[in-house]
Chains A and B, each alone.
Chain A
Amino acid sequence: MNLSGDIGIWVAAILTLAVFSFLWKDNPLFRLAEHILVGVSAGYYLVQYAYSAIYKKLYVPLFDQGNLLFIGCAILGLLVFTRLVPRKSWLSRYPIAFYVAAGAGYSIPSGLQTRVVKQMQTSMLNFLDQGSLWTNVSAFLLFVGVISVLLYFYFSAEHRGAFGFFSKIGIVFLMIGFGASFGYTVMSRITLLIGRLQFLMGEWLGFL
């Protein structure tokens, strides 16, 4: 055993153990670690965005480069604070409207392109791919899967006859997909757990 002499490693190890103590039951040590995490995370993101957004994207163009257009941006940003004053909170609708509408406008072409057109294109091109027989069979299966999943989510017609048959195939694909995603998530969490145990046994206690 070769205990670490680094105070940072000790702090991290104590916090890790405090979080894991929740496996026994909800206890003050866990709640302490939980609140430390909440406070520190909030502080971390606040500083990150204050620097990368407010300083770099507002302060620098406005004060260092003298771009007066950014006065509008500063006004919109400051109007967000009216949210804290109930009688004037309607003023915060302007920055919110800007933010939401810009996001909505951006998502129409880009969302359609990446989520709809690209996905359809990839499914169809793979289907026509001249690879091995197994690749082609798999690609055909993927093509049928995408179509049948879409049919399953089409609720404007009753799921009967051929339509019902394909929507049932859609359920099969969905269940395999959910099972696979679930298994993948479980394994990623276990990987994190192994990482924490390796940290405790290796970096902290020096067993590894």
Chain B
Amino acid sequence: MFRRTIPLIFAFVVGTFMVIQFFIPHPTFQAIYNGVLDWQQVIFGFVLVVGTLSMVRHHVIRIQRKKEGYRYSMVALLGLVSMVLAGIIGGIRGGPYKWMFDYIQMPAQSSMFSLLAFFVASASYRAFRARSVTATLLLVAGVIVMLGRVPAGEYIHVGGLSLTDISTWILDYPNTAAKRGILIGVGLGMTATALKIILGIETSYLGRGD
């Protein structure tokens, strides 16, 4: 009972309150609602700590067993510990924490994402092969948007319109139509899943076992 039923009742009460409060614009309900959101953030903070501990445990085991590439685990742990110490000692507004963010995390992260430009290029070769009418539409829309986003697009004209104008129109209308259709579907799907969670039909988030 305490392992499964009570958590489900707990979920039902919290979930139902969050739905109901939306329709009751009373200061008390608003205060509880804000409190629930704050508690949610706190729980997420603790989840992040547990996740980090799990990551540390994974790398420590790799180092202890001297698994292949265990030296990289040392580097990862060193990065983690130094960032945490930098934040504790110098604070998060400046000092070594901000320095490490500006000169280590940001450049490495944006370089990692920019690396995807090369892989996306090879993926686009495969995706953009005009084998059917629909694949041709994908190809044409992709090429127009890519050319329309660079300065050269301003100088290429088709039927009196520049590629930049056509690209903007594609993004504003057919692309928005597709996205809205998907978004409405996602919204309805999310609502159905949320209802299943609150009513205790969907329980996979509790994990297996009693």
Contacts and interface: CB of A to CB of B under 8 A. Distances in A.
Interface residues of A, number: 117
Given A39-B83, A196-B114, A8 B99 contact: yes
Contact of A102 (B2, B18, B100, B195): B18
B87 A47 contact: yes
* Chain B interface size range: 35 or more
Contacts of A11: 103-104
A192 B19 CA distance: 41
A145 B172 CA distance: 12
A127 B183 CA distance: 18
The main secondary structure of chain A at its interface with chain B is: helix
Interface in B194-210: 194-195, 197-198, 205-207, 209-210
A57 B34 CA distance: 11
A145 B210 CA distance: 47
Interface in B118-136: 118, 120-121, 124, 127-128, 134-135
A183 to B, nearest CB: 3
Contacts of A175: 134-135, 137-138, 141
B141 A183 contact: yes
B114 A179 contact: no
Contact of B137 (A57, A80, A106, A172): A172
B104 A145 contact: no
Contacts of A102: 14-15, 18, 36-37, 39-40
Nearest to A82: B50
B155 interface: no
Interface in B149-186: 149-150, 167, 169-186
21 contacts: A8-B99, A20-B115, A37-B108, A45-B48, A77-B43, A77-B46, A93-B7, A97-B10, A102-B18, A104-B194, A105-B198, A106-B18, A119-B180, A149-B177, A150-B184, A175-B134, A175-B141, A179-B137, A183-B143, A183-B145, A196-B110
Interface of A: 8-9, 11-13, 15-16, 19-20, 22-23, 31-54, 57-58, 61, 69, 72-74, 76-78, 80-81, 83-84, 89-90, 93-112, 114-116, 119-120, 122-123, 138-139, 141-150, 152-153, 170-187, 189-190, 192-193, 195-196, 199
Interchain residue pairs A-B with the least CB separation, the first 4: A39-B79, A145-B177, A105-B18, A43-B83
Interface of B: 2-4, 6-8, 10-19, 22-23, 35-50, 52-55, 69, 72-73, 75-84, 86-88, 92, 97, 99-118, 120-121, 124, 127-128, 134-135, 137-146, 149-150, 167, 169-188, 190-191, 193-195, 197-198, 205-207, 209-210
